[in-house]
Amino acid sequence: MCGICGMSFREPGRVDANVLARMTSALAHRGPDDDGTFLDDHTGLGFRRLSIIDLTGGAQPMFNEAGSIVIVFNGEIYNYVELVPELKARGHRFATVCDTEVVLHLYEDHGPDCVRFLNGMFAFAIWDRPRKRLFIARDRLGERPLFYHFDAATGGLRFASELKALVHDPAVGRGLSVDALDDYLAYGYVPTDRCIFDGASKLPPAHRLIWEDGRIVVEPYWRIQFDPQPIADEDAWIRECESRLRDAIRIRLRSDVPLGVFLSGGVDSSAMVALACGESAAPLRTFSVGFQESEFDEMRYARLVADRFQTDHTEIEVTDRDVSVLSDLAYYLDEPFADPSALPTYYVCREARRHVTVCVSGDGGDELFAGYSRYRHALEHQRWDRITRLGIKQLCGAVGSVMPRHYPGAGFLQRTAAGGADRYFAQCAKFLPNERRRLFRPEFAAHVQDRPRLFERYFANGRVDDLVTRLQHADQETYLVDDILVKVDRMSMKQSLEVRVPFLDHTLVEFVNRAPSDWKLRRGVGKYPLKRLLAAHLPPELLTRRKMGFGLPIKHWFRGSLDAYARDHLLSADTHCTRWIRPQAVAEVLADHQRGGRDLSRKVWALLLFELWCRRFNPS
């Protein structure tokens, strides 16, 4: 894993070497092993390296044989070994044994279509000097980030792996997007199609950007698709799925540095350990994080798996005292980010980095195999619709809208009254539209979006009328990309740790997305085919126990030791977020959580992380 940045201009001589150096330096945590820059009349490229493959070679920026094309690359191409023979047969000479050179030669042969041959996680930029073309691409599922700023007036383009590096160029600016802030308060993250700073954008997953002569084209090269087909032979499907998953794990174990596996004790991470052990000649290192509060702690299940496969197992425990790093988390996450699981992810990545340089993760399993309990709850609400008369739904909506938010049952009534995209949004939202209007200062209230804009297009898709498939499609393109993968990337890169995600092998995603939803969520049991696949490898109690998720006991923390911490940051004289948020509304949220009843801790966390982000980034 590495960090990349750069800039291109139509007029020669505009590349600022000092700005490029500051942008590159801001990415040092992503690549502590080496750095490099390239400058010519039109383009500058910066690079920070975390050495994983070909430790002595592979320096970047890297050039082709003629020196006419140069690349900076962040990520891993897992099928690079298989691509090399064909490239050599086409006459290419290799100076290294690293995957970056494979991408460079593929571009020489195929131009921007080179991405179609890649199986991996990546964000890279290629400067094609003869064509004066800058070509940038991001991997299919969005594992590696890429921010950019395009000035249409001057034709200038800047880009970087992280927002904190991009804003070192003063042309980008730090003006806060209130529309993006509204999205953050609604969803708990800033979606791909917006950025918290008005002057910046994100390259979406599975997209490529081509800059030539001061103009850009951003276009997709792959799409997530669902085309459910009946399964004629369930046993054959399980065998094929296991074969594909094993292949995805096997190629992600390629490394010239020590490698481990995150082991939460859940099904997905346990699957990684079970199948990786069969592909690894040496004992695996595994890493778990737990809590003192038993209702949130899964470490005993992690120990079951570690003992079964005789891994070299390490455990850490996170407590309320560990929020001391929240300010750093807010900085390294780049944008406001309301998922509390970033905290234990930070600590388990820190511990893992003391022993290994690469970790395999089970992220993506819930989105791929319909593991979230909210899918089951959505089906329950759908069945309720069939027996609930319209008048009762209207009554539920009316009562839910006036019920105090700290009363248990308010959310259920609101979801019962809603339908389609509105209902799914009500299941996932941090703050509903009426709550956000109370939060915003009057001059910003017009920015509140009443409709669940992220989800509506999935329910408007006439080709798919299956509810769970719609929810999976939405999650694979929104929550997975902008929450889960942002958390994993930023928290691991803060520690200079590379994380690989076998469930997101695009060939596996394509295969599983062709399966019908009632195969993945069968009789109320999520991940049915994955659990059946793992039955021969894992203890039955692990496969049949209640799903816990990667939650934190923040509802207890904010009603105890962290109440003063939250108030000191959110209600003090120097609170920054009150430029946009009403202090009285924040005080009401804190007071409602303290009253007990309904758990509002995630709302408190969202407000707290926005405040900490404001203090670190100082938006205007």
Per-residue pLDDT tens digits for 200-229: 999 999 999 999 999 999 999 999 999 889
Supply the pLDDT for residue 552: 85
Whether residue 417 is predicted with pLDDT greater than 90 in this model: the reply is: no
Supply the pLDDT for residue 405: 56
Supply the pLDDT for residue 295: 76
* Structural domains in the chain plus CATH codes: 2-175+198-220 (3.60.20.10), 234-370+475-544 (3.40.50.620)
Could you tell me if 425 and 455 are in contact, meaning their C-beta atoms sit under 8 angstroms apart?
yes
Supply the pLDDT for residue 462: 66
Helix 390-402 to helix 410-417 angle (10° resolution) is: 140
Supply the pLDDT for residue 596: 82
Q: List, for residues 22-42, the tens digit of each pLDDT value.
A: 999 999 999 999 999 999 999
Exactly one of 2, 5, 195, 614 is catalytic; which is it? 2
Residue whose C-alpha is closest to residue 470's, from 488, 452, 484: 452
Which residues contact residue 520 at a Cβ distance below 8 angstroms, ignoring those fewer than 6 apart? 369, 370, 468, 472, 512, 526, 527, 528, 529
Average pLDDT over residues 398-416: 63
pLDDT mean across residues, the chain: 93
Active site (annotated) includes residue 2: yes
Supply the pLDDT for residue 471: 96
Stretch (H or E) spanning 352: helix 342-353
Tokens of 418: 């809603």
How many Cβ atoms are within 10 Å of 583's Cβ, its own excluded? 14
